[in-house]
Amino acid sequence: MSSATEVDNSIYYVPERGWYPVFLAFGLMVLVTGLGSWLNETRAGEAGSWTQSLIGLAITSFVLYCWFAKVISENAQGMNNAMLNRSYVWGMGWFIFSEVMFFAAFFGALFYVRALVVPWMGGEGDKGLTGTYLWPEFEAVWPVISNPDPALFTNPGNTMAPPSTPSAWATYLPFLNTVILLSSSVTVHFAHTAIKQENRTKLIGWLGFTVLLGIVFLGLQVAEYIVAYRDMGLTLGSGIYGSTFFLLTGFHGFHVTMGTFILLVQLFRALKGHFSHKDCFGFEAASWYWHFVDVVWVGLFIFVYVL
Amino acid sequence: MSEVIHADHHDDHDHGPEKGLLRWLYTTNHKDIGTLYLWFSFAMFLVGGVLALVIRAELFQPGLQFVEPEFFNQMTTNHGLIMVFGAIMPAFVGLANWLIPMQVGAPDMALPRMNNLSFWILPFAFGMMISTLFMEGGGPNFGWTFYAPLSTTYAPDSVTYFIFAVHLMGASSIMGSINIIATILNMRAPGMTLMKMPLFVWTWLITAYLLIAVMPVLAGAVTMMLFDIHFNTSFFNAAGGGDPVMFQHIFWFFGHPEVYIMILPAFGIVSHIIATFARKPLFGYSSMVYAVASIAFLSFIVWAHHMFTVGMPLAGQLFFMYSTMLIAVPTGVKVFNWIATMWRGSMTFETPMLFAIAFVVLFTMGGFSGLMLAITPVDYQYHDTYFVVAHFHYVLVPGALFSIIAAVYFWIPKWTGKMYNESLGKLHFWLSFIGVNITFFPQHFSGLAGMPRRIPDYALQFADFNMLSSIGAFIFGFSQLVFLYVLIHTIRSGKPAEGRAWEGAKGLEWTLPSPAPYHSFTHPPKVTDAEVQG
């Protein structure tokens, strides 16, 4: 912060006008209106069309590709100074904070439901009367395996709770995923060290391995969802346990997908010879993002799976 | 950095804006983007105002005159949403864009392209939201707070588009805030230490943190709604183990910081204007900064005072009551400091000062009715009545909105290089001041007497107050056309303004010529004590 005194900000790079932002905004609008009409059509029982969403996604992706390519080439031409690079650091840092708050909303919902709603509906305390009156059968246990109104929300057949014997944890999928994701945070750190040592082979190796771990993690998550839907009867519609489980792990999985993709882009950049020990913010931002999804997973593992 | 690039770069700075429409679509200039934000918010202000006048026309007399109750609900909902997200917030972001780089001595915002994206998302998002009014089944009709299950189980189909519009607005706000934080923390001119920053910059820095912290929570809330509606989850449905009250908790965890997002930058603006026209240094600069920071902190732990009657444990009610009342302390510090700044100043009463003084008086009234609402047992009577409507309109209209109008009058000489017409400005002020009080003051009484909000018809006993309120609303609404005329008149044929347009004005922006050059500070300015507020 205080180093503003050391840097000459007369050479701060203000980019020329560009077409990216307004087209990105347009692409986003095409995407979300497409998604909106698809959702409303399927809800009305019609066969919804994906076309508009895909067009929107294509526009968005194309603009983002051009935009990032432009930023990378400007940096390669030496237009960025230390001050602009610090702006990027602030920007990425606070973007990750906003993501933390997005997950906080879902964790907050989980805690509120577990600590207050379910006990109240089970008849506890002053507020218990409503539950007793509406659904006298309802038992306050977490995970909720028997919903207040099973006719509206089918009960989950089973939960994701961990095995009771410690030895069985070796085959407990969320535990394996924890190991995988935690390891990937270490490998991405090794890749960072490799950049600092200007060792490109090592960088490509560790970064590639990290991407691989990300893909394996996602594969196992998909497998878990298939088991949940097909064998366990645990779906989005199976009450508050299914709702919190799928939205928390689902949004995390979405972020891992994004993170893996971002790391993959960094891998391609590394293969093209980008990054030096002084200039590797693209990689660093991607790795911060990766550490962030890792930390969220630890929270998920503890509060969604184990406890 | 090579010499060639250096030279190129200076070429960038030497030429002015491009011509034509593409200038506005493709711009990366903070002043252009600020102008876009300000005109957009003014357009939304007029749209939201028309919806308000539909409401007031319907409520002019008891009985159903003009609109169906269903349509009335869409009017209250969209009036609130448009004014909050479309008028007040973008106006403050527009002011931030125009002023922060000039006030901290920076060449532009830290991330200029993202700045343009933050703006251009908004017309698309609001186009989408307003278009829902013309869809089958109508637009959002569940109140601007969109409580579940009204907004889930019983919502019109268009709610899906509303949800995505909120997502887009949230993304725009988050990017805007990141940009503001990076600009303030990274791009201050040498010597512009944190405790020398102008208060508008300080208040926006804190506001930006609030936005980054709560807009994602709002995104989470609408995402849960989306899944409840389309994918059969049960976050807000007790039959599946969820809880509609949980929606209110999540919403107000966003919503209370949100109402401070709409007032903290106003505090900054008013501090500038009062010090200028009292021709005195701002009284208690550092206490102003700490007060804003405390208000921002407290805003995270008071949310449930919006929902005392919904059912929560007694301990919760007590906690939220006392924490809410605590906010009166830093707010009192601020009001005290503004008055102390004026004390024995050589005051003059140009239009910005009139709006600023009206802000202090009327915002304080809104604050006091807020204290009344904070008292849990009393809130049981006031909840969901016109008393609440009167309260939050007092803090938002003569509060937030007056500060924005004051800011426009105060800085328009800097923006356009021209001075507005003082007589017209004063006319605008007095019409607005009288209009706003006739509109909202009687609502305190109808609310205390028990008139519920968001209802198109009412008992005969409320007729007089409502008629008064509607007359005031039309006076206030149409007097904003005077404002529009003043703006156009200033831009087209205002008298040339000096660099330091106001005698007592301090700050780096006043060291620039008027209008400010397209690129403000290509070289970092020297920060002298004469230009520092603290």
- pLDDT, tens digit (0-9, with 9 covering 90-100), for B173-216: 999 999 999 999 999 999 999 999 999 999 999 999 999 999 99
d(CA A28, nearest CA chain B) in Å: 8
Q: What mean pLDDT do residues B416-420 have?
A: 97
B294 three-class SS:
helix
Do residue A61 and residue A154 come from a single domain? no
| B29 pLDDT higher than 70 | yes
Q: What mean pLDDT do residues A79-97 have?
A: 91
| B6 pLDDT higher than 60 | no
Contact B113 A21 (CB under 8 A): yes
Q: Which of B161, B224, B522 sits opposite A10 (nearest CB)?
A: B522
B419-468 residue pLDDT tens: 999 999 999 999 999 999 999 999 999 999 999 999 999 999 999 999 99
Residue at B267: amino acid letter: F
Q: Does B526 touch chain A (CB under 8 A)?
A: no
In this structure, the number of other CB atoms found within 10 A of the CB of residue A13 comes to 21
Confidence of residue A10 (pLDDT cuts 50, 70, 90): low
Confidence of residue B15 (pLDDT cuts 50, 70, 90): low
Q: Supply the pLDDT for residue A9.
A: 47
Contact A16 B121 (CB under 8 A): no
Q: Supply the pLDDT for residue A11.
A: 65
Contact B186 A17 (CB under 8 A): no
Measure the CA–CA gap between B17 and B30, rounded to whole angstroms. 12
Query: Over the range B221-233, which residues count as b (16 or more CB within 10 Å of their CB) and which as e?
Result: bbbbbbbbbbebb
Cβ under 8 Å to A: B residues 264-323: 311-314
A103 lies in some domain:
no
Contacts of A55 (CB under 8 A, 6+ apart): A30, A34
| B50 pLDDT higher than 80 | yes
DSSP string spanning B149-204? TTTTTT--TTHHHHHHHHHHHHHHHHHHHHHHHHHHHH-PPTT--GGGS-HHHHHH
Query: What tokens were used for A266?
Result: 């960094």
Q: Does A236 touch chain B (CB under 8 A)?
A: yes
Q: What mean pLDDT do residues B486-492 have?
A: 97
Contact A81 B1 (CB under 8 A): yes
Contacts of A226 (CB under 8 A, 6+ apart): none
Give me the count of residues in chain A: 307
DSSP label at B306?
Answer: G
A125 lies in some domain:
no
Do residue A176 and residue A301 come from a single domain? yes
Q: What mean pLDDT do residues B278-304 have?
A: 96
Contact B227 A8 (CB under 8 A): no
In this structure, the number of other CB atoms found within 10 A of the CB of residue B292 comes to 27
Cβ under 8 Å to B: A residues 65-124: 67, 77-79, 81, 83-84, 86-88, 90-91, 94-95, 97-102, 104-106, 108-109, 112-113, 117-118, 121
In Å, what is the CA distance from A125 to each residue of B313, B424, B434?
Answer: 9, 62, 51
> A12 exposed, middle or buried (CB, 10 Å; 0-12, 13-18, 19+)?
buried
Do residue A157 and residue A300 come from a single domain? yes
In this structure, the number of other CB atoms found within 10 A of the CB of residue A133 comes to 9
Q: Does B339 touch chain A (CB under 8 A)?
A: no
Give phi and psi for B385, each to the nearest 5: -110, 175
Q: Supply the pLDDT for residue B11.
A: 41
Q: Does A36 touch chain B (CB under 8 A)?
A: yes
Answer whether B23's CB lies under 8 Å from A17's CB.
yes
Query: What tokens were used for A281?
Result: 């913010």
Measure the CA–CA gap between A234 and A159, rounded to whole angstroms. 7
d(CA A106, nearest CA chain B) in Å: 7
Contact A33 B128 (CB under 8 A): yes
Residue at B336: amino acid letter: F
Q: Which of A67, A86, A247 sits opposite B186 (nearest CB)?
A: A86
Residues of chain B contacting residue A285, judged by C-beta atoms under 8 Å apart: none
| B5 pLDDT higher than 70 | no
A112-171 residue pLDDT tens: 999 999 999 998 887 788 888 899 989 999 999 999 999 999 999 889 988 888 888 888
Do residue A75 and residue A163 come from a single domain? no
Q: What mean pLDDT do residues A196-223 have?
A: 97
Answer with the one of A36, A61, A80 that is the final residue of a domain.
A80
| B62 pLDDT higher than 90 | yes
A197 lies in some domain:
yes
DSSP string spanning B451-496? PBSS-S---GGGHHHHHHHHHHHHHHHHHHHHHHHHHHHHHHHPEE
| B9 pLDDT higher than 70 | no
A57 lies in some domain:
yes
- We report the CATH number of the domain holding residue A65 as 1.10.287.70
DSSP string spanning A116-170? IIHHHHTT-STTHHHHHHH-TT----SS--S-S-TTTSPPPS---PPPSSGGGGG
Residue at B519: amino acid letter: H
| A81 pLDDT higher than 90 | no
Q: Does A64 touch chain B (CB under 8 A)?
A: no
Measure the CA–CA gap between B100 and B115, rounded to whole angstroms. 13
| Helix/strand number for chain B, H first, E second | 19, 2
Measure the CA–CA gap between A205 and A199, rounded to whole angstroms. 10
Contact A43 B178 (CB under 8 A): no
Q: What mean pLDDT do residues B63-86 have?
A: 96
Q: Supply the pLDDT for residue B66.
A: 94
Which chain B residue lies closest to A234 (C-alpha atoms)? B233
d(CA A211, nearest CA chain B) in Å: 27
Query: What tokens were used for B285?
Result: 């600069």
Do residue A66 and residue A162 come from a single domain? no
| A7 pLDDT higher than 70 | no
Answer whether B214's CB lies under 8 Å from B258's CB.
yes
In this structure, the number of other CB atoms found within 10 A of the CB of residue B97 comes to 28
Do residue A23 and residue A168 come from a single domain? no
Query: What tokens were used for A256?
Result: 């891992």
- We report the CATH number of the domain holding residue A167 as 1.20.120.80
Answer with the one of A35, A65, A80 that is the final residue of a domain.
A80
Cβ under 8 Å to A: B residues 146-185: 157, 160-161, 163-164, 167-168, 171, 174, 177-179, 181-183, 185
Do residue A167 and residue A73 come from a single domain? no
DSSP string spanning B214-256? HHHHHHHHHHHHHHHHHS---TT-GGGT--HHHHHHHHHHHHH
Q: Does B453 touch chain A (CB under 8 A)?
A: no
Q: What mean pLDDT do residues B482-495 have?
A: 97
B497 three-class SS:
coil
Token look-up 């965890």 returns B253
| B489 pLDDT higher than 80 | yes
Answer with the one of A50, A80, A110 that is the final residue of a domain.
A80
> A1 exposed, middle or buried (CB, 10 Å; 0-12, 13-18, 19+)?
exposed
Measure the CA–CA gap between B94 and B36, rounded to whole angstroms. 7
Which chain A residue lies closest to B178 (C-alpha atoms)? A91
B116-167 residue pLDDT tens: 999 999 999 999 999 999 999 999 999 999 999 999 999 999 999 999 999 9
Measure the CA–CA gap between A51 and A55, rounded to whole angstroms. 6
Do residue A51 and residue A165 come from a single domain? no
Q: Supply the pLDDT for residue B24.
A: 93
From A82-91, B290-299, B362-371, B460-469, the region with the lowest mean pLDDT: A82-91
Comparison of pLDDT for B527 and B257, the residue scoring more: B257
Residues of chain B contacting residue A18, judged by C-beta atoms under 8 Å apart: 26, 28, 113, 116
Contact B233 A126 (CB under 8 A): no
| A261 pLDDT higher than 50 | yes
The count of structural domains within chain A is 2
Nearest to B205 by CA among B116, B330, B296, B331: B296
Q: Supply the pLDDT for residue B16.
A: 67
Q: Supply the pLDDT for residue A166.
A: 84
Measure the CA–CA gap between A142 and B172, rounded to whole angstroms. 38
DSSP label at A275?
Answer: -
Residues of chain A contacting residue B111, judged by C-beta atoms under 8 Å apart: 87-88, 91
Cβ under 8 Å to B: A residues 170-199: none
Token look-up 């409520």 returns B59
Q: Which of B12, B106, B185 sits opposite A16 (nearest CB)?
A: B12
B313-343 residue pLDDT tens: 899 999 999 999 999 999 999 999 999 999 9
DSSP string spanning B97-110? HHHHHHHHT-SS-S
A101 lies in some domain:
no
User: CA B431, B437, B439: angle at the middle one, nearest 5?
Assistant: 95
Measure the CA–CA gap between B140 and B130, rounded to whole angstroms. 9
In Å, what is the CA distance from B291 to each residue of B265, B305, B331, B370?
Answer: 13, 21, 7, 18
| B4 pLDDT higher than 70 | no
Do residue A154 and residue A244 come from a single domain? yes
Radius of gyration of chain A (CA): 24
Measure the CA–CA gap between B479 and A62, rounded to whole angstroms. 46
Residues of chain B contacting residue A101, judged by C-beta atoms under 8 Å apart: 212-217
Answer whether A213's CB lies under 8 Å from A184's CB.
yes
Tabulate helix, strand, coil % of chain B (nearest 5). 75, 0, 25
Comparison of pLDDT for B519 and B356, the residue scoring more: B356
Do residue A71 and residue A216 come from a single domain? no
Provide the whole-model pTM. 0.94
Do residue A160 and residue A300 come from a single domain? yes
Measure the CA–CA gap between A103 and A85, rounded to whole angstroms. 28
Q: Which of B12, B121, B213 sits opposite A25 (nearest CB)?
A: B121
Confidence of residue A15 (pLDDT cuts 50, 70, 90): confident
From A5-19, B210-224, B286-300, the region with the lowest mean pLDDT: A5-19
Question: Which H or E run includes B418?
Answer: strand B418-419
Contact B242 A125 (CB under 8 A): no
A17 lies in some domain:
yes
Measure the CA–CA gap between B175 and A94, rounded to whole angstroms. 9
Do residue A71 and residue A164 come from a single domain? no
| A4 pLDDT higher than 60 | no
Q: What mean pLDDT do residues A262-267 have?
A: 97
In this structure, the number of other CB atoms found within 10 A of the CB of residue B118 comes to 28
Radius of gyration of chain B (CA): 23
Comparison of pLDDT for B533 and A156, the residue scoring more: A156
Q: What mean pLDDT do residues A272-284 have?
A: 92
Question: Which H or E run includes A53?
Answer: helix A51-76
Q: Does A242 touch chain B (CB under 8 A)?
A: yes
A126 lies in some domain:
no
Which active-site residues of B does the annotation give? Answer: 79, 108, 144, 172-173, 256, 258, 260, 271, 305-306, 331, 334, 453
Nearest to B252 by CA among B211, B304, B299, B314: B304
DSSP string spanning B308-368? GGG---HHHHHHHHHHHHHTHHHHHHHHHHHHHHHTT------HHHHHHHHHHHHHHHHHH
d(CA B6, nearest CA chain A) in Å: 7
Q: What mean pLDDT do residues B52-81 have?
A: 96
Domain of A250, in residue numbers: 149-306
| Distance from the Cα of residue B267 to its chain's centroid | 11
> A137 exposed, middle or buried (CB, 10 Å; 0-12, 13-18, 19+)?
exposed
Query: What tokens were used for A278?
Result: 């002084």
Residues of chain A contacting residue B217, judged by C-beta atoms under 8 Å apart: 101-102, 104-105, 108
Q: What's chain A's average pLDDT?
A: 92
Contact B124 A26 (CB under 8 A): yes
Q: Supply the pLDDT for residue B534.
A: 61
Cβ under 8 Å to A: B residues 79-138: 106-108, 110-114, 116-117, 120-121, 124-125, 127-128
Comparison of pLDDT for A84 and A31, the residue scoring more: A31
d(CA B116, nearest CA chain A) in Å: 6
Residue at A250: amino acid letter: G
A200 lies in some domain:
yes
> B294 exposed, middle or buried (CB, 10 Å; 0-12, 13-18, 19+)?
middle
| B17 pLDDT higher than 90 | no
Q: Supply the pLDDT for residue A167.
A: 87
| A80 pLDDT higher than 90 | no
Measure the CA–CA gap between A174 and A156, rounded to whole angstroms. 18
B211-240 residue pLDDT tens: 999 999 999 999 999 999 999 999 999 999
d(CA A277, nearest CA chain B) in Å: 18
